[in-house]
Amino acid sequence: LFIWAYTNSGGWGPILSAPSKFTSTREFLAIFFPALTGVIAFWATLALNIPDFCRYARSQKSQMVAQTFSLPLTMSIFSFIGIAVTSATIVIFGEAIWDPVALVAKFPPFIIFLGTIVIVLSSLTINVGANIVAPARAIENLNPKKITFAMGALVTGIFAILLQPWYIMSNFGNYIFGWLGTYGALLGPIDGIAIADYWLVRRRQMALKDLYEVNGRYSYSTGFNKNGIYALVIGVAIPVLGLLIPGLRFLWDNAWTFGLFISIIVYTYLMRGDKSVLAPGEYEEITLKTSEKPIIDSQTADPTITK
């Protein structure tokens, strides 16, 4: 599509010289920030379940370097291609066609056939890799003895159909400002709580064994961390005010960002002195005991001390 856009629109000149639809900076910003929130929300899903993938990395450094170079680079390239091709459709067809499926439909039948195969295959590989893993694992974890990963993937697919994606994708307004903007308002606080809990509240120190204990320090009083729930509700409620009060519309237009920082502040404040947080020196004591625990060699039945 990129090569086709370049050759059929007469080069970069017509594409890059297309005049702006905005008459003022204010009009531009009114669209830019909600669109930015949509893009962030799009990646926020992967940010939440990136541990499902990077846990296989050999070191913390390797996954950090890989994500730093790969994600921004590829996103920038594909964003540029999308913008360039959409701009070319204005020159060629006189209208902006942002949906690649709708654009492929304007080609000859054989190209439509090939394009359909490519779109189906790419949709399957992308969705299985980026979107299926986390919910399928979550469903599997409800009853691991009876529910397999494959069953979890099928249930996820059924829920996906019930969400009526054809309606969401019917126009970019539904998709960017409706769908992405709304679940961005939900994911921002969740991201914020996860960041605050690991980096600010616990400072990367956790009792790993207690994570798997039914009555461990992380089971809390009722099985839920109420401070996390409070931070989530507040982180969602404040941006929602932008939908109800016109003067606070900027809160909703930047819902993911505001929700992120609000939840970080609220959660960090509420978790002060929480019993689940390790006391000074406790992490070192747990780590020392674990590292000196005897390990039985299965072949020699001879205990060895590892340090």
Domain annotation covers residue 143: yes
Q: What is the pLDDT of residue 301?
A: 47
Domain annotation covers residue 213: no
| pLDDT of 293 strictly over 60 | no
Domain extent, residue 161, equals 100-168
Domain annotation covers residue 256: no
User: Stretch 96-114: mean pLDDT, rounded?
Assistant: 89
Domain annotation covers residue 141: yes
Domain annotation covers residue 138: yes
For residue 221, give every residue at least 6 positions away whose Cβ sits within 8 Å of its Cβ, in sequence order, or none: none
How much is the mean pLDDT over the chain?
A: 85
| pLDDT of 223 strictly over 90 | no
pLDDT in tens, 180-217: 888 889 999 999 999 999 999 999 999 988 988 888 89
Domain annotation covers residue 140: yes
User: Stretch 52-67: mean pLDDT, rounded?
Assistant: 86
Highest-confidence segment of 13-17, 72-76, 292-296: 72-76
pLDDT in tens, 1-47: 899 988 888 888 777 776 777 888 888 888 888 888 888 887 887 77
Q: Could you give the number of structural domains in the chain?
A: 1
Domain annotation covers residue 124: yes
Domain annotation covers residue 263: no
